[in-house]
Amino acid sequence: MRPLAFQLLRELSHQRFTSGVVLAQKFGVSRAAVSEALHDAGESGVEIFSLTRRGYRLAAPIELLDIDVLRDALGVTAKRLNLEVVETIASTNTELMSRAADGAPSGTCIAAEMQTAGRGRRGRVWQSAFASSLTFSLLWRFDRGAAHLGGLSLVVGLAVVRALHELGVSREVALKWPNDVLAGHRKLAGVLIESQGDMLGPTAVVIGVGINVRLPTALKESIDQPATDIDTIAGAEISRNTLLAAVLRQLVTALDEFQRDGFARFKAEWIRLHALHDKPVRVLHADGSVVETTVCGVADDGALLVRQHGRELALASGEISLRAVGSEKRTNAK
């Protein structure tokens, strides 16, 4: 969307119409420019009512991210972060990976109202609509090498669940190895971890998180797997600013613990929340082969433990995909 569209959306109300003439005068543009910008917003998934001689009104309230509100809600955690809110961006992960290479400090965080090329795990697309999701990336620098960061994606997912519990959202919320958050066996959030560095030395990690907050019906139906959102499972609207602040607070705390103690500190809590623990699953290997097995836990390094022909095997993240036996759709990860 063009910058004018964001300005107009901040001005519009869902309770009353605002004249196109008034909007044009306020922002020093033509009425045609107002119409075109709001058309762009509509194409991006924002429902706007338009009536001749009355103007424009939002079909439903829109809460945009507010940097000052976020900093207040973060409390002391705000000092640990260099937080930036952008209106539109191709991919927060892509941008932050570039900044990491240029020396951006640990704690740099970019949150976007809309991503035009959001990326998921294994090259998949992360779908979201304007102001309907939380999409953000956080740069965190570790003293240890990548070889010692096993289980990090599991810890990030757990931090998201902790934040939801903090806000009273707990109904059917669960985790799915290695980087999904589910609710009622439908995808609620996903994690994408990317890193720079070597196996032994310091590592810069970019943590991408996408959370479905209030997805338009058309978008929900277009996602290639069962999906849900916060509004649906909470039964009420939760402020996107409040949710983002809660996730960031929990994430910073969890990353400090992970830096100190590794994944072993989180293992028992993670297993309790794993939707597929002790469940039969199909393991889909990268070479296309499929094996049916049973999940029995996770290792201290975050590897998935399964029982296969009476033996316990460890499966590393990034080599397989999972789905419960009997499910019809392959499960994506962010």
Query: What stretch of H or E contains 34?
Result: helix 31-43
Residue 323 designated active-site: yes
Domain count, the chain: 3
Q: Is residue 334 part of a domain?
A: no
Query: What is the pLDDT at residue 55?
Result: 93
Q: Is residue 148 part of a domain?
A: yes
Find out whether 99 and 138 touch, Cβ atoms under 8 Å.
Answer: no
Query: What is the pLDDT at residue 173?
Result: 95
Last residue of a domain, one of 58, 83, 101: 58
Other CB atoms within 10 Å distance of the CB of residue 70: 21
- Catalytic residue among 162, 176, 240, 323, which? 323
Residue 82 CA from chain centroid, whole number: 18
Residue 121 designated active-site: yes
- 87-126 pLDDT, tens per residue? 889 899 999 999 999 999 999 999 999 888 665 555 555 5
Comparing CA positions, the residue from 296, 298, 288, 277 lying closest to residue 321 is 288
Q: Based on the domain organization, do 36 and 74 belong to the same domain?
A: no
Last residue of a domain, one of 40, 58, 76: 58
108 vs 81: CA distance, rounded Å: 6
- 210-246 pLDDT, tens per residue? 999 987 766 666 676 788 889 889 877 899 999 999 9
Find out whether 109 and 137 touch, Cβ atoms under 8 Å.
Answer: yes
Query: What is the pLDDT at residue 6?
Result: 87
Query: What is the pLDDT at residue 205?
Result: 96
- Catalytic residue among 162, 176, 187, 334, which? 187
| CATH number of the domain where residue 45 is located | 1.10.10.10
Domain that holds residue 14: 3-58
- Pick out the chain residues at pLDDT < 70: 117-128, 217-222, 224, 317-319, 321, 323-324, 326-334
Q: Is residue 330 part of a domain?
A: no
Please state, for a pLDDT cut of 70, what percent of the chain lies above it. Answer: 89
